[in-house]
Structure 1
Amino acid sequence: MRRGHSPVAETGSDVALTRAAQAGDVVALGLLLEAHQPGMRAVALSILGPGADADDAVQNAALTALRRIGDVRDPAAVGPWLRMIVRNACRSFLRTSSRGVPLDELTRIAAGAGPEEVLERHALRDWIWEAMEELSPTLRVPLVLRHFSSRVTSYDEIARACAVPVGTIRSRLSQGRAKLAEALAATADGAHSDARQRTSASWEEAHGTLAAAERGDFGKVLAERWSPGAALMRGDIRLGGTQALLRGMECDLTAGVRQRPVHVAAGKALAVWEMDLINPPDNPDHCPPAVAWIMTLAAGRVERLRLFHGARVVLPVASV
């Protein structure tokens, strides 16, 4: 992808800009989003009214377009496509009150297309991940959870995972998106790492880590792949080091609890493993149903691990 002078972009037509963007022309993509921002914002305002939620919808749509521009089959209809993304984001917000939807879910145009297929088809995600590495951890973690995780996506959940107020998360997401836009421009000429390959490797590592734990080799994994001073966190509170994590894992395994990876988001400086927690039949409430491993990385080793457990769902009691 190259920045700078773009002869195609100068035509200003949706068709030319879209085709150039699909070919990797960053300037064309920027011009395309700029040209359609008023229409995208008008859709958000008509559904959500003025405020942070409308701003979020437009910003989300811009990020989605970066990743999904290759899905546009009719370049002349890119305007309606962008407005549809905003409309879907707004309606999802209204349906779920405050829960966010990962970017992959906003515009699943191809029926049955999964995140792994999207990664294979669109190198733009590599560019986004590369730019994400330029952000500070304070801004990177909420942004990754909001847009790349599958479960820890609502403002409230992210706030609890990061141990800060919801208002702070809103502010950090807004700052993060603005910084991300700058970082995208700054990294456009660079060589992008292979996000699909990295995510695949992280999936294998998640499965391998859990298999090692069940064999009794979790301590060996921690020694080989984690930093010696790795910290286990709950929010911003340090619970201990790797020994605390080892004891917790052994306690769960002894109780018959197992973990199953269901979603992975992996960058060079941050990885998120989302797991189902499978309790033993004789103690179904031993653990919450799910956990997210939010790992800060340095040189490929885990330096900090936040464990975030989603709220347990309480089923209503049927009246007799």
Structure 2
Amino acid sequence: MTALDAPTDEVLARRAQAGETAALGLLLARHQAPMRAVALSLLGYGPDAEDAVQDAALTALRRIGDVRDPAAVGAWLRAVVRNSCRMRLRSRRETPGLDGLDHLHAPGYGPANPSYLGHPERVVDEHAMRDWIWDALEQLPESLRLVLMLRHFSGITAYQDIARACGIPVGTVRSRLNQARAKLAQVLLTTAAQVHDDASRLTEASRQEAEVTLEGARRGRQPGEILELWPAETELVGVLSTPGERCHPIPAMRRNREKGITQHLRHVVASRTVTIWEMDVTNPDGIADPCPPTLAWLMHRRDGRVTTLRVVFPEPQR
């Protein structure tokens, strides 16, 4: 029940669809209890129910523009939670991510609907809520921000792949995601009415940097402005590094070029201190040790410069 002078769900939903972040924050706070009740009824008490509620809240941030009946936004939110729970019950492999959340949308969402954009990330890019979400993400501790970026904004969504990307056990991935979602929800509610930076500028700058870096790798020579971002102290870590030795990423790029392996940028996820470049890989015919068809560069940065690079090879989705 809401106070007599409080705006109705319909009013808040329409304001949220117009880009008013405070209105969406109020909607999520108002419907948090019934959303949790739906999750508990389907999944019982435990972390899965909380995960489903937080996933639904993030979905609402991306999909609020697709609600066709603003007066029924409460029912829509509960349906999002219900779908999230059913997906968890149907599959043992936990791979929702952004691509896996395509099923969480309003009725009528699809190519025939003018609001359909083909990929969830584009909904974030086109929606006024994008800057609010990314400003909130920037306020999380880096360890929590990283798992959330991987899980919800990249193609590295399986818990096992996130664990390898972060160098932590799978159980730690789950606990960090639970903490990250809870903290993100708190930050979103407290920052809804603030002015937010344009997140698309950071992503576009990172995309351009990636393209120049890949072109430099193909030519065998990086331009000076790129070399500035890969100082001598930059370290290659993970499966491509040499055990017991400190490795710089540039020689590894050179070795791939000599083998004839090329990488093509597919997707960019960027915050101020963490950058993810997802790649498609082309191997030359007859290569003895081909590279997997997809990989991701996971970079930690300080003042724009790369401090560590970990190349991640996600398991193929089944």
Q: Secondary structure of the equivalent of 1:145?
A: helix
Of the candidates 246, 252, 257, which is equivalent to residue 253 of structure 1? 257
Residue 139 of structure 1: aligned partner: 144
Query: Does residue 207 of the first structure (1) align with residue 214 of the second (2)?
Result: no
Within 5 Å, give how 1:1-320 maps onto structure 2: 10-103=5-98, 105-106=101-102, 107=104, 109-111=109-111, 113=117, 114-115=119-120, 117-150=122-155, 152-218=156-222, 220=224, 222-234=226-238, 244-283=248-287, 285-311=289-315
Q: Structure 1: how far apart are the matches of 2:191 and 2:308?
A: 26
Kindly tell me: are residues 70 and 311 of structure 1, through their superposed partners in 2, closer, same or farther at Cα, counting changes over 3 Å? closer
Query: Structure 2 CA distance, aligned partners of 1:280 and 1:65?
Result: 43
Report SS of the residue matched to 1:184: helix
> 1:136 and 1:199, CA in 2 relative to 1: closer, same or farther beyond 3 A?
same
Cα distance in 2 between the residues matched to 1:178 and 1:42: 17
- Partner AA of 1:38 in structure 2: A
User: Which amino acid in the other structure matches residue 282 of structure 2?
Assistant: I
- 8 Å Cα contact 1:293-1:305 kept in structure 2: yes
CA contact (8 A) 2:278 2:297 kept: yes
SS at match of 1:291: strand
* SS in structure 2 at match of 1:50: coil
Shift of 1:56: 0.7
Give, in whole Å, the separation in 1 of the partners of 2:252 and 2:223.
Answer: 12
Q: What is the aligned-residue identity percentage?
A: 48
Distance 2:313 2:212 in 1: 21
- Distance in 1, matches of 2:288 and 2:74, equals 49
Aligned counterparts of 1:91 and 1:40: Cα–Cα separation in 2: 14
1:61 Cα deviation after fit: 0.8
CA distance in 2, matches of 1:192, 1:65: 19
Superposition deviation, residue 295 in structure 1: 1.4
Residues 227-246 of structure 1 show CA distances to partners (whole Å, capped at 9, x for unaligned) of 442222228x99766x6311
CA-atom RMSD, angstroms? Answer: 2.9
Q: Unmatched 5+ residue regions in structure 1?
A: 1-7, 315-320
CA distance in 2, matches of 1:134, 1:310: 27
Q: How many Å apart are 1:90 and its aligned residue? A: 2.8
Change over 3 Å in CA distance of 1:197–1:115 after alignment to 2: farther
Aligned partners of 2:297 and 2:310 also within 8 Å: yes
Conserved? CA contact 2:249–2:309, under 8 Å: no
Alignment-derived partner of residue 318 in structure 1: none
Bigger RCO (CA 8 Å, 6+ sep)? 2
One-letter amino acid matched to 2:76? W
Partners of 2:154 and 2:313 in 1: how far apart? Answer: 14
Paired with 1:291 and 1:90, the residues of 2 have a C-alpha distance of: 30
**After the TM superposition, which of the residue ranges 53-62 and 281-290 deviates more from structure 2?**
281-290
For residues 78-121 of structure 1, the C-alpha deviation after alignment (integer angstroms, 9 at most, x for no partner) is 12321232233234334442333234644453435134642443
- Asked if the contact 1:259/1:278 (under 8 Å) is kept, the reply is yes
